[in-house]
Structure 1
Amino acid sequence: MRFNLWRTMTRKRLILFGLLSAAIACAALTTYWYNRPTTLTFAVGPAGSEAARLIDALRVALIRERSSVRIRLVNSDTPSDSAAKIAREDVDLAIVRSDVSFPATAVALAIWQRNPVVLAAPTSSGIERWTDLSGRTLGVVGRGIGFNSRLIETILREHGVQPASVKIVDVLPWETGDVFRKGLVHALVTIGPVATKPVADAMAGLVRETADGRVSLVPIREAEAIAERVPVLEAAEVVAGSFGSNPPRPAESYPTLSVLHYLVARRSITDAAASELTQQLFTLRPTLATQHPSAFRIEVPETEKGSAVQVHPGALAYLTGEQKSFVELYSDYIYILIFGLSLGGSALAGIIGYFGWGRREPVPGHLPEVLQLLRQARGSDDPELLDEIGSRADDIFVESIESSKLPGFDSSLFSTLMLALDRLNATLADRRRALAMYGEDEDEPDNQSSLAAAPLASAGRG
């Protein structure tokens, strides 16, 4: 019986250990699955550009911070190339211009930068308004020259100037001084942040080749009205002293138009990935700006309903402080899982109970032996055998008491065994009593014969 109890206890321990190990493995697998890094492909370029260097620094920072989102760079030549890649869903992220065909499958995570349109010309040229460009040659500086030229044509039309009346030529930033010195252009347009090197180099070349450095910066006074008519543009302001402070150039702030670069993502990426990337982008922005000052140009997009560019729901949740925890995100699935496990467990238990699968018969222990001893005691007239049966009954009683301290003890079987032992001891007592009475009955006739012989002996002596 002790061996059976030990075997039962060992089996239960093994089952418990197996269930515990399975639970730990499931928890570990679930934790890994939930926390595993999500890699997003990012179309950026051209290689070596300011944006490409900043995105690469962000990639390294995400690895260093052990973020749940990682990025993999995919080379792109132009904004239109990036837009095409994300429209085909070849990549997950890209930087696109608002005036380039905005992908229908993309939503914004952040404003990457604002590119103000700056028209500059030597004061001696007499160009004070955009309408004065008719019949002139205009040099356009900036990456994506084709898009910049189309943007300039749009602004010219908004001013009532036919684009065909203005000759637009491409100018590289470091060629600005030469083209003005040779008289190849009359005015210059830059489209980009005023603090960037291409814009600064272009303006420096213009100032250098202009007599006394006298340069006129031409405003777009109807910028807000034009932005209303052309949604891809927005009104902006060139701050006084943006191109130099001695003397301040411009002398005072003036209005202009701006085109935006957006960091966009495919609609299909998860809210969790979009939220994590947006959070890390704005959290790491100060750190990234120490090596890449352009990081400070990254801005929060408009989160109001009806804005021109839709924001990804995951990014919107972070930007509006409505991020949900894991339990909040998957509470419905958790409740359904708990309900399903409870219902399935009850159904499985019912099926097992109905068919009796896995049911184990209780170990009888010493009970069969006690019943056998009981039969022997009832049919025995041998006092020595009864003594042996009584001694064995005492041993069984002691072993049963010791076994009651072991785990897996069956109290109902113990109660039955005690009843059987009580019955056995009662039977032994009855048999001993019966044998004792039978012995007295055999001795009584001998005593009566002795008493009858005594008077006869007395008469003979007399």
Structure 2
Amino acid sequence: MTIALILGLIGAIAAGYYFAMRPVILKVAVGPANSDDVKVVQTLTQAFARGYVRLKPIQTEGAVASADALAKGNADLAIIRGDLDVPKDAQAVAILRKNVVVIWAPSGKGRGRKSGAKITKIVQLAGHRIAVFGRTEANVNLLKVILQQYGVDPGKVDIVQYPTTEVAEAIRSRKADAYLAAGPVNSRITAEAIAVSAKEAGEPTFLSIDLADAIAQNHPAYEAAEIPAGAFSGSPDRPDDEVKTISFNHYIVARKGLSDTKVATLTRQLFAARQQLMAEFPFAVKIETPDTDKDAVIPAHPGAAAYVDGEEKTFLDKYSDYIWWVLMAASATGSLGAWFAGYLKRDERTTNSHLRERLFDMIAQARHSDSAEELDQLQSEADAILRDTLHCFEHGAIDQSGLIAFNIVLEQFHRAVSDRKLLMSTMAQNLQRASAQFRAAGTL
């Protein structure tokens, strides 16, 4: 019975491990269509095709829609901007990339600019037209944050917005006096926009955000950063010196309630695929670990934090205590079951004990018997006792040692019967011989 319980327990543990470790599919919200983020997620989906965690992309209109999908429970993961409204239950898995803000003004004359005027500082943007590249309002709001920090009323700035597909046309048509773009330092889109601006309106002047630290202090989603000299391809002088700016992160976030094991495995798979992603998307990806400090802007998911801090638990680490307690419980249950089974068979053991005592009495009776018929009856009774004893052994009422002891007594009984029958046969022969001799002597 105990063995059966142990085998059943092992089977239950194996089944639990199978169900715990079978592949899971996580829905990831990402957008807009044809963006680098969508392409990155599609590449990850292919890379994770044989992993424990697999991805199912859900295309959205952009980062705002992706965050909304996560908040509504329509997705397990989302690609979002850290400077937008982050869902309350969103927790960081990884930083997909860091984006920097680039603001520049062409050296030539642009629409709305006074003759001979040259924009070299943020405060000089008042009264001018600024072109913001990007589909959503996120970059427009970002510009307003910068303007307000410098005391420039956004209402006194003519802000126009262009999708990234219309960057070159907007610059060629001289529709703005300054431009704002946000993306990785090595962003292809930003570099191409600056190159077109230099060709069409002269080498650009990069506007330094000297109050970057103050902006970061007032708006934790942003960080002070620097654009290194020569960061933009096409000329080693773009810019000709480091330019102070602000940066913000693009995150891969997960629902707070998502299993720690799933997120830890996802994070491990993600960083295993990092080199492949960076090789295929050098302008869109620079995966970094999330901030695991408690005061992080977007707190790290416990599963991701466990991976980053080297505290990720294996299946046995997580469930060893439970397995130990189950084994102890199974052992106790087996012992209790054995005791209970023995308790239920106490009547059979008592009966068998009486039968063995009866067999002892039968040995003494056989040794003093003078009747072959009586010996045959004792033999038949011994056969019945043997049958009952074997029945008790099969049902566990007596153990192997008890059966051996019974066998010793039974052998003694058979020997007593055999000896008695031999003695009775010898006596009968002697009587016949004496009788014959007596008759022979009488005839003489």
> Does structure 1 conserve the Cα–Cα contact (< 8 Å) formed by 2:226 and 2:243?
yes
Is 1:188 the equivalent of 2:174?
no
SS at match of 1:74: strand
Structure 1 CA distance for aligned equivalents of residues 139 and 423 of structure 2:
119
Structure 2 CA distance for aligned equivalents of residues 123 and 422 of structure 1:
126
1:247, CA displacement in angstroms? 4.2
Partner of 1:318: 307
Is 1:232 the equivalent of 2:218?
no
Amino acid of the residue matched to residue 86 of structure 2?
Answer: F
Q: What is the correspondence of 1:10-409 to structure 2 with a 5 Å cutoff?
A: 25-26=11-12, 28-63=14-49, 66-124=50-108, 126-144=118-136, 146-210=137-201, 213-244=202-233, 246-294=235-283, 296-356=285-345, 378-380=370-372
Amino acid of the residue matched to residue 85 of structure 1?
Answer: A
**Could you state the TM-score of these two structures normalised by the residue count of structure 1?**
0.79
Q: What do the CA deviations read for 1:202-238 (whole angstroms, capped 9, x no partner)?
A: 223212211xx32101110111121011111111111
> Does structure 1 conserve the Cα–Cα contact (< 8 Å) formed by 2:97 and 2:288?
yes
1:378, CA displacement in angstroms? 4.9
- Going from structure 1 to structure 2, the CA distance change for 1:223 and 1:67 (only over 3 Å counts) comes to same
Partner of 2:111: none
Partner of 1:403: none
> Does structure 2 conserve the Cα–Cα contact (< 8 Å) formed by 1:142 and 1:198?
no
Q: Which piece of structure 1 moves more, 242-251 or 409-418?
A: 409-418
1:241, CA displacement in angstroms? 0.8
> Does structure 1 conserve the Cα–Cα contact (< 8 Å) formed by 2:27 and 2:76?
yes
Gap runs ≥5 in structure 1: 1-11, 394-407, 454-462
**How well do the aligned residues superpose, as a CA RMSD in angstroms?**
3.4
Structure 2 CA distance for aligned equivalents of residues 311 and 292 of structure 1:
24
Structure 1 CA distance for aligned equivalents of residues 194 and 141 of structure 2:
21
- Going from structure 1 to structure 2, the CA distance change for 1:76 and 1:357 (only over 3 Å counts) comes to farther
- Going from structure 1 to structure 2, the CA distance change for 1:157 and 1:110 (only over 3 Å counts) comes to same
Q: What is the correspondence of 1:421-432 to structure 2 with a 5 Å cutoff?
A: 421-432=414-425
> Does structure 2 conserve the Cα–Cα contact (< 8 Å) formed by 1:173 and 1:199?
no
> Does structure 2 conserve the Cα–Cα contact (< 8 Å) formed by 1:174 and 1:202?
no
Structure 2 CA distance for aligned equivalents of residues 414 and 219 of structure 1:
104
Q: Which piece of structure 1 moves more, 417-426 or 92-101?
A: 417-426
Structure 2 CA distance for aligned equivalents of residues 293 and 219 of structure 1:
25
Structure 2 CA distance for aligned equivalents of residues 411 and 171 of structure 1:
98
Structure 2 CA distance for aligned equivalents of residues 72 and 54 of structure 1:
13
> Does structure 1 conserve the Cα–Cα contact (< 8 Å) formed by 2:191 and 2:233?
no
Give 1 or 2 for the bigger CA radius of gyration.
1
Structure 2 CA distance for aligned equivalents of residues 425 and 358 of structure 1:
33
Structure 2 CA distance for aligned equivalents of residues 308 and 127 of structure 1:
34
> Does structure 1 conserve the Cα–Cα contact (< 8 Å) formed by 2:36 and 2:284?
no
Amino acid of the residue matched to residue 299 of structure 2?
Answer: Q
SS at match of 2:238: coil
Amino acid of the residue matched to residue 59 of structure 1?
Answer: T
Partner of 1:438: 431
1:268, CA displacement in angstroms? 0.8
1:350, CA displacement in angstroms? 2.8
Work out the number of aligned pairs and report it: 408
> Does structure 2 conserve the Cα–Cα contact (< 8 Å) formed by 1:142 and 1:192?
no
One of 389, 401, 407 as aligned partner of 1:414: 407
1:286, CA displacement in angstroms? 0.7
Amino acid of the residue matched to residue 71 of structure 1?
Answer: L
Structure 2 CA distance for aligned equivalents of residues 358 and 215 of structure 1:
104
Structure 2 CA distance for aligned equivalents of residues 312 and 157 of structure 1:
33
> Does structure 1 conserve the Cα–Cα contact (< 8 Å) formed by 2:128 and 2:157?
yes
Amino acid of the residue matched to residue 446 of structure 1?
Answer: R
Structure 2 CA distance for aligned equivalents of residues 239 and 143 of structure 1:
27
Q: What do the CA deviations read for 1:106-147 (whole angstroms, capped 9, x no partner)?
A: 110111111111101112451111110100000000242x11
Q: What do the CA deviations read for 1:16-67 (whole angstroms, capped 9, x no partner)?
A: 8x8898677545423321220121110011222111111111111111xx32
1:180, CA displacement in angstroms? 3.6
The share of aligned pairs that are identical, in percent, is: 32
> Does structure 1 conserve the Cα–Cα contact (< 8 Å) formed by 2:97 and 2:251?
yes
Q: What do the CA deviations read for 1:378-402 (whole angstroms, capped 9, x no partner)?
A: 5249xxx99xx9xxx9xxxxxxxxx
1:200, CA displacement in angstroms? 2.6
> Does structure 2 conserve the Cα–Cα contact (< 8 Å) formed by 1:286 and 1:295?
no
> Does structure 2 conserve the Cα–Cα contact (< 8 Å) formed by 1:141 and 1:202?
no
Amino acid of the residue matched to residue 88 of structure 1?
Answer: K
- Going from structure 1 to structure 2, the CA distance change for 1:137 and 1:37 (only over 3 Å counts) comes to same
1:165, CA displacement in angstroms? 0.4
1:178, CA displacement in angstroms? 3.3
1:174, CA displacement in angstroms? 4.3
- Going from structure 1 to structure 2, the CA distance change for 1:355 and 1:98 (only over 3 Å counts) comes to same
Partner of 2:396: none
